[in-house]
A and B are shown apart, each in its own frame.
Chain A
Amino acid sequence: MLQEYMDRKYRTDNKPSVEANLIKNNVAIVGIGQTQYTKNSGRDELDLACEAIQNAVDDAGLKMSDIDGFDTFILDRLSLPMLINSLGTPNVRFSCEVSGGGGAGCAVAVHAAAAVATGQADYVCCYRSLNEASGHRYGRGDDFIEYMPVALTPNYGYIWPLGFVTPLGWAGVWGRRWMHEFNITREQLGWWPVVLREYAQNNPEATYFGRPMTHEDYMESPMIVDPLKLHDCCVNTDGAAAYIITTVERAKDLKQTPAIIAASAQCCPIEQEIQTIYQRPSISGLVETWYVGQELYRVAECGPDDIDVAQLYDPYSIGGIIQLEELGFCERGEGGKFVEGGDNIRIDGKIPCNTAGGLLSEAYLHGWNLVIEGVRQIRGTSYNQVKDVELSMVTGGPGVASSGIILRR
């Protein structure tokens, strides 16, 4: 994987045949649901999850008792048994908790899709619930240690005592290297958050709805973890979101236009652990995003020019822009120039990105909100609807075991 990336040559002779892919065009996202996104929900995460799941079930036109599988990714603080005890789903026969943190933003859908494509379950609910604004923050070092012991792996011993303890720091190191090698400027970075904030002004459910931001505002915002400013970083969110996956065949009897999975991909490349990718020959690019893109294009039999709209997992601006390069929307090292002025990622641009506001301006729902917006673009119900969407891409987080899906009508 790493060698293919260093050579920039994606091999097809060592990949499974596209004909044998049971997910492609056979599985769809049929229901989406969320709670309000707030800064202080005043409710517990189980409570929020139940509401979001009920909304997704209603949206699909299903009954709660139809749900027979559950899927999420690690660093989730919900108890699945308590969730099942509350929802009353009587026939759960599939459950999954994917590794990789935010990288698994789409891998959750991939595993759920595999489950329904192979008959392990009929309707899998992918859920996420967080009180990350009012409660425990993944992005804070002390919270991370205390509440997320699953992350306590030996390699943390090599970075935490040096005060190198948050995702912003881990990503800032490869971000700075990328900026250094390709002369990416601070001014260029700012266009990603500014355009996302514009999208959020049309999305009443977005955290930053009603709070516009100019490029000057961005430039004046404080530096949090140099090279990242406050507005380079995702919001903190209380809220929950869920979506339901089933076969295209079953989707025919349901309420909504299905968002059919044209391709799905997950990868776990070597030398990565929560974004500490530092032993790779080069850290100014991301093998995982490149690989996911190449695999999605191979399976969907399309290329970057065919993608109409993209939701890229962007916990910070650099994570969004560098993905534009690795997914082939622009040349390597050209991401800064590509976003300059913002037009390329606006609604009529070359590739409209994170059209609900993304993780920076809509919500940090660990990518669930990105999948949901990807589905809305297929249904034609986005607050920032791109015209005649045929293919809608969603990706997982950068710098970790990542994932992606391409949805179609």
Chain B
Amino acid sequence: MTVEYNPDQKIPHPAMWGVLYKSSTPFWEGVKNKKIMLQKCKSCGNLLNPPRPMCPKCQSQENEWITAKGTGKIYSWVTFNEAPHPAFKAPYAAVLVELDEGPRIVSNMVDVKPEDLEIGMAVEVTFEDVAEDLTLPKFRKAG
């Protein structure tokens, strides 16, 4: 039950926003290469998601990127019964996944109907090419 798109409408692209700060570029480069990349503070090890130029815990501006395992649990979700943007066909769910590394990311499920979602459901990442120039990290039920 992945999200269905209206082919004649442009899906909002991350680049429209992401280019404002260079901090988020490695994440989207990672997604193109089918990886979830997480920014990590070199000084205190804090995982910074969404990425940012300074670690809010120790104020270091030195960071590196690690590859997340891509596994986690559903922390919460919502189901859109009316499409709030013409690119998307309702109904569909947006899930908040808590990655095993700790940070949470917003995504969609590819194989679970909205009515079958549960908080705590174990999930793993998959990648979907939703447009010629856009790949998104999505999730499916683990195991």
CA distance A156 to B14 in the complex (A): 7
Is A157 a contact of B92 with CB atoms below 8 Å?
no
CA distance A258 to B81 in the complex (A): 46
Given contact pairs A169-B78, A227-B78, A154 touches B84 in the complex (Cβ within 8 A): no
Given contact pairs A176-B76, A177-B75, A278 touches B106 in the complex (Cβ within 8 A): yes
How many residue pairs bridge A and B at CB < 8 Å?
126
Is B76 a contact of A161 with CB atoms below 8 Å?
no
Instruction: Tally chain B residues at the interface, Cβ within 8 Å.
Output: 46
Is B17 a contact of A163 with CB atoms below 8 Å?
no
CA distance A169 to B82 in the complex (A): 11
| Shortest beta-carbon distance from B125 to chain A in Å | 13
- Chain B residue nearest in CB terms to A151: B17
CA distance A166 to B92 in the complex (A): 13
Is A159 a contact of B85 with CB atoms below 8 Å?
no
Q: Which of B11, B23, B28, B106 contacts A159 (CB 8 A)?
A: B106
A224 contacts B by Cβ under 8 Å = yes
Residues of A within 8 A of B28 (CB): 157
B18 contacts A by Cβ under 8 Å = yes
Residues of A within 8 A of B114 (CB): 226
Residues of A within 8 A of B92 (CB): 163
Q: Which of A142, A169, A276 contacts B80 (CB 8 A)?
A: A169
CA distance A223 to B93 in the complex (A): 13
Interface positions of A from 214 to 230, Cβ below 8 Å from B: 222-227
- Chain A residue nearest in CB terms to B24: A154
Can you list 17 A-B pairs with a CB-CB distance of less than 8 A? A142-B85, A153-B17, A157-B13, A160-B14, A161-B12, A163-B80, A163-B84, A163-B94, A173-B76, A176-B77, A177-B76, A222-B81, A223-B79, A223-B81, A278-B96, A278-B104, A283-B75
Given A161-B136, A163-B3, A279-B104; 17 other pairs, CB 8 A cutoff: A141-B84, A142-B86, A157-B17, A157-B24, A158-B106, A160-B17, A161-B11, A161-B134, A163-B80, A163-B83, A163-B85, A165-B85, A168-B78, A222-B81, A225-B79, A225-B81, A278-B75
- Listed from nearest, the 7 A-B pairs whose CB atoms lie closest are A157-B14, A141-B85, A172-B78, A157-B17, A226-B79, A160-B12, A164-B94
